[in-house]
A and B are shown apart, each in its own frame.
Chain A
Amino acid sequence: MKGAGRFQLLHRSLLFRYLLILVAALLFIPVIVPLTIMLYSIFGGLAHEAPPKEYALYSSVDKLEIMWHEEARKLLDQPPEDITQRLRTLSETYHHARIFWVDHEGRTQLVTEPSGPPLLLDGQAARDIPAYWGAAEAVSFMKDSTALKPLAIVAFVGDQAEAGEGFMVMQIPEEIKNGRYAPGLDKWYSIMMLVFLIVFVVSSWLFFVMIRRRLLRLQTAMVFTGHEGLPQVVPPGKPDEIGRLEEAFNTMVTELKASLAREAEEETLRKRLVADLSHDLRTPLTVIRSHLHVLGKESLSPRGQSSLELMDQRIESLGILIENLLSYNLLSSGRTLLKLEQRDVLRLLRESAAAWYPVWEKEGFEVEIDLEGAPLYWDVDDSWFRRVMDNLFQNILRHARSGLYVGIFTEIRDGSRVIIISDQGGGLEKSSDSAGAGLGLSIVDLLLKRMELEWSMESTGQGTEVVIWKRTS
């Protein structure tokens, strides 16, 4: 069972298919080529016209050679007429061959022409036999004979050169020797080989195209994320290696979704805890403040009134501190989502300043605002950017009372437009309760970083200047 399962797995695997193609490629030369040759021989043999029976005489070159040399030996010391007669007799038996002989003086004594297929020399008609043989004719004949087309069997009369009685030759046409094959078979063989090659190339190509397509689909699924910021699940494919990869990818996406859901749940719980804490801390403060207000309506000594005012201020500060503490807790967890949108920050700044203006005015601050000029678009979260401004303005109100000045400007520094918020207070270090400002500024830092903004703060005895600018990539 286990073995069958393994085979099933192997059978479905890409490796198996790839090996199949490789085996096919390896078999292509040692198996396919001989196979095709065999087929070629079979079909070639079938296509071959059966040779006439008289061609059987010429089927064995060795036998012909033996016979020819035997005849030559028998003709030793025979008069030319007998030699001619004997060769003429032989030509009747071997009438498809051309037989001639040349005497010791180089004169051609007899030439019989073949009765069947013509003698061809490399496709051309064979030369005529010269009447007289000199060295040149002999060499020329030898050269023609080396090609063996037509096959030439040469023997000295008497089968020995020393006899000096000349030589005798039998030339057999090529067609008789080799038979005739069906025309165009070579072409079919080439086509068949080409088809094999094309089938191999196409199957390899399809194999890799299929792999590539599936990998690309997987890549697309990984790159394009949905509204949750997670990749989409891919539809299950074949159960091979890529299929298993897709399955693993889908499992990962599912687990990520579950993890996100858990995180969202934790975040909800965290928010609820913070909200409950906030409520539980603020409720008694509200009660105390209400009662302080009631007390303030009673007739109290100036010292009593002053104490009440101080308590009221401290309650307000405590409220802000709780606010900042819980906000910092939420923000530092990094899971609070900021909706970054391109907004005119000068407009947001003007609106924040407008809300704070009556408070500054009441406290006797001189307010100088210069935010004229083209809008300044940054990617910010509207509400949280207002929160940054509120924290900075709150700090001015609480820690720069001595300077009674608020300046809000925009100007160009190092080639970029920046926002400047300044005061002429004694600086944060000299403030009596600068510890509270630290938390507010930590929130400012966290928020501005999340909005990809940079900021700096310079605080001296003459005042504090906060500069905000857009981070350059």
Chain B
Amino acid sequence: MSVTVLYVEDDRDIGNAVSADLREREYAVRWLESGEGALEAAEGCQLAILDVMLPGLDGFTVGQRLKRAYPDMPILMLSARTSIDDKLQGLDFADDYLTKPFHPDELAARMEVLLRRSGTAAPAPMMLKHLVVRPGSSVVMEAASGREIMLTGKQFQIFSYLLRHLGQVLTKEQIYEAVWGESYMEGDKTLMVHIRYLREKLELDPAAPEIIETVRGIGYRVRG
């Protein structure tokens, strides 16, 4: 079953082009030219793409209403970054932000990230080198042997967080604060120790990690 996307864009040229591109990528698109009726149209959608500048209700208002009605549905805003206040206002409820003129491939990539994060996309198991992981569940298996790898609570939280941001480089502060829920203190080795144990369980050669990559000077990343 394909993913249904609510797309609100007042410009017909852009709307036509983006809708066509998304349909080619096997998304079902519900395109509206204004925010009116967006709440009803969002029923059954897994993702919403909203333009900020809309006739009548603006994208922020529509987005806030959608978020209240469908808190689990990710929202991607399309607009200019010129007014940074708008960006902050937009990100209060929106999950991501893309500035025009965007490349269709970039839009598709962002959508995939959002869908994966919300657990809508990729319901199928995902191959990561020699591992099979099922996003949204705690199951991590060795592909060859089918042996399940048991992770501790914290190890699983760290690995899940990295998987939710697949391909993104995350700083130590971001990971620590997302997993432990408290401020990261510079020099704290807790995260490093947990990553080391995690690698011992996940990597074929923990000394040359392939799953959890260290980005020197910044943090860690799991490549997609």
Contacts and interface: CB of A to CB of B under 8 A. Distances in A.
Contact of B83 (A312, A319, A330, A370): A330
Interface centre among A283, A312, A369, by most B CB within 10 Å?
A: A283
Contacts of B168: 354, 358
Contact of A369 (B83, B103, B217): B217
Contacts of B167: 358
A420 interface: no
Nearest to A326: B82
A354 B169 contact: yes
A289 B217 contact: no
Interface residues of B, number: 39
Contacts of A398: none
A315 B53 contact: no
A372 B189 CA distance: 13
Contact of B104 (A290, A357, A370): A290
Nearest to B17: A290
B81 interface: yes
A286 B215 contact: no
A286 B105 CA distance: 13
A232 to B, nearest CB: 28
Interface in B163-200: 167-171, 173-174, 186
A357 to B, nearest CB: 4
Contacts of B82: 274-275, 278, 322-323, 326-327, 330
A110 to B, nearest CB: 121
B79 A312 contact: no
Report, as a range, how many residues of chain A touch the other chain.
Answer: 35 or more
A105 interface: no
Contacts of A326: 80, 82
Nearest to A319: B101
B101 A293 contact: no
B171 A351 contact: yes
Contacts of A369: 216-218
Given A279-B53, A347-B173, A370-B217, A289 B99 contact: no
Interface in B50-85: 52-53, 79-85
Interface string B82-94: 1111111000000
B40 interface: no
B217 A293 contact: no
A374 B187 CA distance: 8
Contact of A350 (B17, B80, B83, B171): B171
B42 interface: no
Interface centre among A287, A294, A355, by most B CB within 10 Å?
A: A287
Contacts of B100: 279, 282-283, 285-286, 319
A230 interface: no
Contact of B217 (A279, A287, A368): A368
Contacts of B105: 293
Interface string A311-352: 010011011001100110010000000000000000100110
A387 interface: yes
A323 B11 CA distance: 20
A73 interface: no
Question: Which 10 pairs between the two chains have the least Cβ-Cβ distance?
Answer: A369-B217, A290-B17, A285-B101, A282-B100, A278-B80, A354-B169, A286-B101, A287-B13, A326-B82, A357-B169
25 contacts: A274-B82, A278-B83, A282-B101, A283-B13, A283-B100, A286-B11, A286-B14, A286-B101, A287-B14, A290-B18, A290-B104, A293-B103, A293-B105, A316-B103, A318-B101, A319-B99, A323-B82, A347-B173, A357-B218, A358-B168, A368-B217, A369-B217, A372-B217, A373-B186, A383-B88
Interface of B: 11, 13-14, 17-18, 20-21, 52-53, 79-88, 99-105, 167-171, 173-174, 186, 215-219
Interface of A: 271, 274-276, 278-279, 282-283, 285-291, 293-294, 312, 315-316, 318-319, 322-323, 326-327, 330, 347, 350-351, 353-355, 357-358, 367-375, 383-384, 387, 408
